[in-house]
Structure 1
């Protein structure tokens, strides 16, 4: 699911582009007309807020798998990012019907919260990130859809606002062992997307295996493609242990007990140059732990967030904030960029 709409919103004409993108994404996701209208309303409200309250920003619209169920079902994800001055009173802004803009539809963030399947927002003086997910029926509005256990989210942005990203991430539950994977097809564009999509398909066939074996099984599946850098992280909920392995240049950072640690992938290309041995790293998974996987579109020296309030948010908001804050005009993006976050049970995360 690499079709992505990356829409800069710096004048009112782009609000329509955002709405049309939401409608096109809803069509790909198979949403009915009512839920398509909901996606269009939420997207339009978020885009309007970018103009009226942040002097513009960016909307990223794409499809993600429903992350809480074993079956794969597409969900429309709407992400608004800006570098504005932030929302002064988030609690007031999240009340249903609250608006300060004459140009608003009158829906407000509170309505977006109510009608989305999931909605979360993070705002500081550095700007605001809002993420809404729309599937066929409204759900609870917090991460995890009200179910216990780890949660996951991410963002995937193509280079130069292309239609498709050569990156992909996916999440599968198999018994007590949820698995997160991120793949970066070599290069970018359609052929890179083909490779990363093949990695996603292979993951869903092999999620019952340990991470190193998943990569070994994935290697022949990617031989007909140009290959990909791939990292796999699997959490054993019974033993509270995280197992990580990667081939290629996928970055990984683990947050545990107040500090960040690099997890290192092994050189190689899944589907082309697979190493004879795949090193495996194991770490304890504690309440409040959080794992970030990212492709090389993110600068290698990005600084992990240190705000406990952010780390307690929906993982998709964490991922989008990392992406927003890592890039700058002085360090332009040179490739597709994806960030995926695996976080502990929301009940164990405290701002």
Structure 2
């Protein structure tokens, strides 16, 4: 079971570097990092924040614990709105610096992190990911990501709130041979309204999703409807992702968007009008192929639906956290809670 952890959003401002360093240090200490590793996290996050303030037009840093392979990591995701990088490889090279790029210190950040990845759109913005484990060295992988999660999600509260009314979760059974899970069940939920009352509904939905014995998406949605009766209700969708067969099956109620995204197009999976827990129509499921190189993307109406994969070249090859962060960065609406979850197709 993968669920959202406590998320701290820090908006760009004069105190960003100090705030990011303080929050990252506290988080690393809370999850049991050694003093030496805490110092690594503090140095890298300070450098990330300083680069954002020096070179970007606007942006934010997201800090949270993340569980991968049964271990807790500290994740730093930096999202900005420009100017982006025309030469990503050159920007990461040690000693590289040029006006208008996040060039200073990226090589050092990559060395300090166990997982490092970024995606940049010239003129529009960059998503940078750095994850830190309590113990080193990092596991050896061809992409330098350490361990590769099979899914990632991200939520952001509406301006003025500290909690988000959107949530997500992923259930998976790990094969005995240690290979990537082949069958996943994914929840994307948007509690009606925003703030603590909406978050309460979403938390209850995630608990039901965690505990139900139902397996098929439409049966899980029915269980969620019964369990949310008496609440303000929610829009939500449940998807079954068979990564080995390359197939997605979804049951959705309300304003949740779900797409199978390829590099040059996306195919929508329909949701039906209604409010889970209040008024729900007869449930239906829709299926689509999930071919190698594609991904399932589910998000709330806190992101506009006009985004296109052709406007995000190369994004689907990146780490799932970067995919989720960059789509939210480019399509998120500040006037509402926002939530997104991404499941890439299996590698072949």
**Length-normalised TM-score, structure 2:** 0.82
User: Cα distance, 1:208 vs. partner?
Assistant: 6.6
Once the two structures are superposed, residues 259-292 of structure 1 have per-residue CA deviations (whole angstroms, 9 ceiling, x without a partner) of 21111212222233333x2110111221112111
| Stretch deviating more after TM superposition (151-160 or 299-308) | 299-308
Q: Distance in 2 between matches of 1:182 and 1:244?
A: 11
Q: Distance in 2 between matches of 1:221 and 1:154?
A: 23
Q: Distance in 2 between matches of 1:130 and 1:207?
A: 38
Q: Distance in 1 between matches of 2:221 and 2:254?
A: 11
Could you tell me whether the CA contact under 8 Å between 1:245 and 1:278 is conserved in 2? yes
Match of residue 337 from structure 1: 338
Q: Does 1:8 align with 2:11?
A: yes
Change (3 A) 1:118 1:208: farther
Match of residue 157 from structure 1: 156
Of 217, 229, 232, 2:238 maps to 232
Q: Distance in 2 between matches of 1:135 and 1:271?
A: 40
Cα RMSD of the aligned pairs, angstroms, is 3.0
Match of residue 284 from structure 2: 279
Q: Does 1:195 align with 2:201?
A: yes
Match of residue 301 from structure 2: 296
Q: Distance in 2 between matches of 1:143 and 1:283?
A: 31
Of 199, 205, 210, 2:216 maps to 210
Structure 1 unaligned runs (5+)? Answer: none
Q: Distance in 2 between matches of 1:270 and 1:223?
A: 8
Q: Distance in 1 between matches of 2:144 and 2:215?
A: 27
Match of residue 258 from structure 2: 252
Q: Distance in 2 between matches of 1:298 and 1:28?
A: 32
Could you tell me whether the CA contact under 8 Å between 1:2 and 1:168 is conserved in 2? no
Could you tell me whether the CA contact under 8 Å between 1:165 and 1:193 is conserved in 2? yes
| Stretch deviating more after TM superposition (199-208 or 265-274) | 199-208
Q: Distance in 1 between matches of 2:329 and 2:263?
A: 25
Q: Distance in 1 between matches of 2:26 and 2:268?
A: 38
Could you tell me whether the CA contact under 8 Å between 1:295 and 1:337 is conserved in 2? yes
Once the two structures are superposed, residues 210-230 of structure 1 have per-residue CA deviations (whole angstroms, 9 ceiling, x without a partner) of 211222222333336433221
Could you tell me whether the CA contact under 8 Å between 2:8 and 2:64 is conserved in 1? yes
Could you tell me whether the CA contact under 8 Å between 2:260 and 2:290 is conserved in 1? no
Could you tell me whether the CA contact under 8 Å between 1:156 and 1:165 is conserved in 2? yes
Change (3 A) 1:325 1:107: closer
Once the two structures are superposed, residues 49-85 of structure 1 have per-residue CA deviations (whole angstroms, 9 ceiling, x without a partner) of 1122224422122344x3x55x6x6543322122233
User: Cα distance, 1:167 vs. partner?
Assistant: 1.0
User: Cα distance, 1:31 vs. partner?
Assistant: 4.7
Equivalenced residues, count: 330
Q: Distance in 2 between matches of 1:202 and 1:184?
A: 15
User: Cα distance, 1:307 vs. partner?
Assistant: 4.1
Could you tell me whether the CA contact under 8 Å between 2:262 and 2:316 is conserved in 1? no
Q: Matched residue of 1:244: which SS?
A: strand
Match of residue 326 from structure 2: 321
Change (3 A) 1:292 1:182: same
Change (3 A) 1:223 1:43: farther
Of 43, 57, 69, 2:59 maps to 57
Once the two structures are superposed, residues 10-42 of structure 1 have per-residue CA deviations (whole angstroms, 9 ceiling, x without a partner) of 33x221112223234445655555544443333
| Stretch deviating more after TM superposition (13-22 or 301-310) | 301-310
Match of residue 186 from structure 2: 180
Change (3 A) 1:202 1:118: farther
5 Å matches for 1:66-77?
A: 66=67, 69=69, 75-77=73-75
